[in-house]
Structure 1
Amino acid sequence: MPKALAGLGVLDGVPVLPELGAFGPTVAAFVLVATVAGLAIGLVWAVWHLPLCYIPSQTIYYNIPLFGFFVSTAFLSVLHTWLYNNTNRSLLPALLFHTAFNWANGMFPVLESDPASLTLLVMLAAATVAVVAYWGPSTLSRPRSRSDATV
C-alpha cells in the first residue's frame, strides 16, 4: 500500500476508517434488519480489502482463499453489528474488536495454515450463529428498557 494511503485507515495501528466511515451509518440505515446489515457490510469490507490479497508484502492477506476470506469477514461484521447495537451504538467497542482481531492475526498467524484457517472460520460461524440465535436476527440487541431509553 502506498505510504500516502497508509494513514487513511489506520491511526497508530488501529483501523478507524471502516468503523467511522461506514459501519455506524450503514448499520443505522439497516436498523430493522441488523443481521442483513452486518452481512452486507462484511461483503463490502471484503471487497475493500481485496487488493491486499494480491500484494506479496501483505502476509496476512496475500494468496489466501478468497471464499473463506469473504465468509469470515461477513461473520466478523455481524459480530461487529452485535457489539455496536449492544453498546448504545458506540463505535469504540467495534473499533477495539477490529483492532484486537487484526492484532491477534499478526501475533498468531493462523491464516497461514489451512487447518487453522478452517478452524477459525468454524469458530466465527459458531459465534455468529449463537449471537443471531440468542439476540435475534432483526436487531441483534437486547430489548431496551425505560432506564436505557432515558439519556
Structure 2
Amino acid sequence: MTDANLDLVGTEIRSPIDGIPSEPAVSIGAIVTANQADALATVTRLDPIYGGITKSIARMLRLHERISSGELTRGQSLDASMTLENGTLYDGMDTFVSPSTSVSTATGTLDLRFQFDNPDRLILPAQFLRVAVTLGTTQAIEVPQRATLTAC
C-alpha cells in the first residue's frame, strides 16, 4: 500500500455500535483530531431499546410489605407490558435489565431499566409510553359490577 492509500484509510471513521447517527456536529472539511473531547456525531441504537421506569420508593416499600406478609406472591420475573401513545399494546419482548441502587433525593423515586425488542423502530428515545410491570400475584374474587354499590 502506498503512503497516500494509508493516509486515505486513516480518514475513515466508523462507529463502534450499529445505529442511527445524529446530524454531524462538524462540517465536511473541518479539522478534527484523535481523542478530541467533542463528539463528531451521536449514534443511537434503536433495536433493542432501553427504557427507564421510575417508581416511588414509598410504593416499593408497600409492595415489599405485601410480599413479606404473604398478601402478594412474588413472580418468577418482572414482566413489563407497554402501551404506545395511540393506545396500542406493544407486542415486543421485554427483559428486566437492572434496578437502580439509589433513591433520588429530589423525587423519592427508584429507577428500573428494561430492554425492549424494537425491530420496527416504533419506540424512539424520549418517547412517552405507559408501562405496566407485573411483580406478582394475589388472591382475589371477581364480582360482577352490578353486584356492587357506591358508598355515599
Give yes or no for TM over 0.5: no
What is the TM-score normalised by the length of structure 1? Answer: 0.21
Higher Cα Rg, which structure: 2
- Give the number of the structure whose residues are more often helix, by fraction: 1
What is the TM-score normalised by the length of structure 2? Answer: 0.21
- Give the number of the structure whose residues are more often strand, by fraction: 2
